[in-house]
Structure 1
Amino acid sequence: MSDFSFGTSSKSKSAPILVVGWPGLGGVASSCVRTLSQGLQSESVSALNPDPHFELEDIQIKNGLIFQGNLPKLIFQRVRSASNQELILFIPDTQTMDKPLDLARAVIRTAMSTFGIQSVITFAAISGVLEPEEEPIVRFGTTDFHSGEELAKAGIPPLRSERIVGLNGLILLAAQELGLKGICLVSEIPVWGLHSPNPKATRSLLKTFCSLMSIRLNFDHLNGQILALEEKMAALRDAFSNESGESWDSDNGFHLEQEGKEIESAIERGLSKVELDELENFFSRAKFDRSQTPLLKAELDRLGVFKLYEDRFLDLFRDLS
């Protein structure tokens, strides 16, 4: 993968690459940039003013006295990697829910004017139907065809159909608007650990990134965390299966015996195996994350099978209440 030339051209061999990781699912993207910051020689060189994008949400109390709380930090750091490819890390404390695309544009404009960046790489995580013991597969999304070709030649498969929610995706849209190339490296995490830090996904993403950039980075410090998380997720999976009588299939998600009639009826209505598998993914996510239920409802309505799955859909609310 060392022949990868993203961000370089005959006009600018040394243009720095902006590497971004906003806090998100499993803390994966943020963990990636913070691990790069800690593992490589980096220095804070600039910061984005949070005032236009964030409002105060808290106060601090010390010895009984009230003080104004702090706005999030939005820090730029410079890294000179072993391959002489300069990296600019953007390390934000949090995402904003108010006009996030405006914040993404501000980050890109600041990085362009201050550091002369011409390309952006982000990280992201999505929930997936995989076992806790499995190694996550890293896939990519990109703003241009040629970068996609290079990534495919490097052995990284593309995302076929997926949504990247939040600023880890929106910042690539902002980059594209301003004429920059952008790549998002994406890893799946099991539904059993959506709200826990996922060092295994972090390691998979960073191994891919470091291989592309010809960077050496030691990941041994993550091994203990990975083992502990695997055991926790496996215990949750096994306890769920024992209590509910449901079984976990790494290809298709949850399959209950009583769902057989639903699936047969859905097939009779013309649903493909891909559509059925995607529905199972939606149900799996909604089982552990109630915020996913509107997306599940919309998909059932789109396919015209809500009545067929209505009882199972309502059971989600009984399970999660």
Structure 2
Amino acid sequence: MAFKLEKEPELNAPDLVVGWPGIGNVGLLAVETLWRQLEAEYLGEIEPEPYFYPSGLTVKNGVLEKLSFPASKFYYKRLENRDVIFFTGEEQPAESGSTYASGVKAYRMANEVLDVAQQFGCRRVFTSGAAVSPIHHKATPGVWAVSSDSALLAEINAARSGKLVSDLQGRQTQANVSGLNGLLVGVASRRGLPAACLMGEVPDYLARAPVAYPAAAKSVLQVLSGLLGFRLNYTELDEMRVQMNEMVEQFFEQFPAEIKEKLAQRRQEVAESESGEPITEDDKKWLEDHIEDLFKPGGDGDDRAA
């Protein structure tokens, strides 16, 4: 056991809500916003040494005081209708050379998180992250919902009443949920815990940009709050979106004119575009190829991973 708990509160069949960093930091931003607004209390953490190398060190007067590691913390909140446990990890454990969680360490961490969840009698598990999608950055992101339990998926869809449903999910016969967000859903299912992952859409041309995407985090929270009955204030996320949109516009302006023109056709307000026509399948394929070229090392784009 590599977790330590500061408290052992009596909780009433809580839900577990989880967020790790990833593309656009969607999941981490959503869950941190949630537990901060609900003023959740610190519960405990997973000890980092089995999973991470030190991320830094503290030196005072030339003397090493301590090593710093990525934090993986639990919080809890008692609510009128249901209790909730939150978990946020600053980093996903991964094998050498892997961008997302992978290997034995990732599987062990997923089980550690669920050990705590089951110790407190959690009844459901929710993770959140990003869905890389061919949308425009001025569009309202939809939310992809993936669940190990058909009844839970039906409950999610009923709670959002058709709002923020992605038009893109389901067009492909198969899809992958990378990292611990997907792994946790699978491991929870093996333990008999209904689990779901809510993924806010992030434009594919921003998937490798080292910026947060608060618009997607807001969409995820709107779906989750509707499901769990939370009342949230989205002012902070809206302000972040305004600031980030300024950065995104600068990034967007670096694209060749032909790419920008085709991306503009993705906007929800199709009638306001010059063509007045939706983007064609040929244009979609052309964009996929050319957006990928922008991020190749030595190309015209930014090859940094998100």
Range of TM-score over shorter length: 0.7 to 0.9
Query: Aligned partners of 1:38 and 1:80: how far apart in 2?
Result: 14
Give yes or no for contact 1:54–1:71 (8 Å, CA) kept in 2. Answer: yes
Q: Who is 1:168 aligned against?
A: 181
Counterpart amino acid of residue 189 in structure 1: V
Counterpart amino acid of residue 151 in structure 1: I
Alpha-carbon distance, 1:166 to partner: 0.9
What TM-score, normalized to structure 2? Answer: 0.75
Counterpart amino acid of residue 249 in structure 1: L
Query: Aligned partners of 1:55 and 1:226: how far apart in 2?
Result: 33
Give yes or no for contact 2:24–2:130 (8 Å, CA) kept in 1. Answer: yes
Q: Of 64, 68, 71, which residue of structure 2 is paired with 1:70?
A: 68
Query: Aligned partners of 2:196 and 2:259: how far apart in 1?
Result: 42
Counterpart amino acid of residue 75 in structure 1: K
1:110 to 2:107 alignment: no
When residues 281 and 39 of structure 1 are mapped into structure 2, their CA distance, relative to the original with a 3 A threshold, is farther
Give yes or no for contact 1:41–1:80 (8 Å, CA) kept in 2. Answer: no
1:101 to 2:99 alignment: no
The aligned runs of 1:19-168 (5 Å cut-off) are: 19-81=17-79, 83-98=80-95, 99-113=105-119, 115-154=120-159, 155=162, 157=165, 159-160=169-170, 161-168=174-181
The structure with the greater share of residues assigned to helix is: 1
What TM-score, normalized to structure 1? Answer: 0.72
Secondary structure of the structure 2 residue equivalent to 1:230? helix
Q: Which protein is bigger by CA-based radius of gyration? A: 1
Query: Aligned partners of 1:95 and 1:117: how far apart in 2?
Result: 22
1:221 to 2:236 alignment: yes
Counterpart amino acid of residue 73 in structure 2: I
Q: What 5-or-longer segments of structure 1 have no aligned partner?
A: 1-12, 254-272, 291-315
Give yes or no for contact 1:129–1:191 (8 Å, CA) kept in 2. Answer: yes
> Please, what is the CA RMSD of the aligned residues?
2.8
Secondary structure of the structure 2 residue equivalent to 1:20? strand
1:286 to 2:292 alignment: yes
When residues 18 and 285 of structure 1 are mapped into structure 2, their CA distance, relative to the original with a 3 A threshold, is farther
Counterpart amino acid of residue 248 in structure 1: K
Query: Aligned partners of 2:22 and 2:58: how far apart in 1?
Result: 25
Alpha-carbon distance, 1:165 to partner: 1.2
When residues 51 and 152 of structure 1 are mapped into structure 2, their CA distance, relative to the original with a 3 A threshold, is same
Alpha-carbon distance, 1:185 to partner: 0.6
Query: Aligned partners of 2:212 and 2:33: how far apart in 1?
Result: 13
Counterpart amino acid of residue 106 in structure 2: P
Alpha-carbon distance, 1:106 to partner: 1.4
Give yes or no for contact 2:125–2:195 (8 Å, CA) kept in 1. Answer: yes
When residues 91 and 135 of structure 1 are mapped into structure 2, their CA distance, relative to the original with a 3 A threshold, is same
Deviation sequence 1:91-113 (CA, Å, 0-9, x none): 21211104312211111112212
Give yes or no for contact 1:192–1:236 (8 Å, CA) kept in 2. Answer: no
Deviation sequence 1:122-181 (CA, Å, 0-9, x none): 111122221121100012000012222222334364742432211111111111121111
Alpha-carbon distance, 1:251 to partner: 6.5
Q: Of 247, 261, 269, which residue of structure 1 is paired with 2:261?
A: 247
Q: What 5-or-longer segments of structure 2 have no aligned partner?
A: 1-10, 96-104, 268-279
Secondary structure of the structure 1 residue equivalent to 2:41? strand
Deviation sequence 1:289-315 (CA, Å, 0-9, x none): 44xxxxxxxxxxxxxxxxxxxxxxxxx
1:197 to 2:212 alignment: yes
Counterpart amino acid of residue 85 in structure 1: R
Number of paired residues?
261
When residues 288 and 210 of structure 1 are mapped into structure 2, their CA distance, relative to the original with a 3 A threshold, is farther
Alpha-carbon distance, 1:252 to partner: 7.5
Counterpart amino acid of residue 170 in structure 1: L
Percent identity for Structure 1 against Structure 2: 26
Query: Aligned partners of 2:44 and 2:259: how far apart in 1?
Result: 54
Query: Aligned partners of 1:285 and 1:167: how far apart in 2?
Result: 26
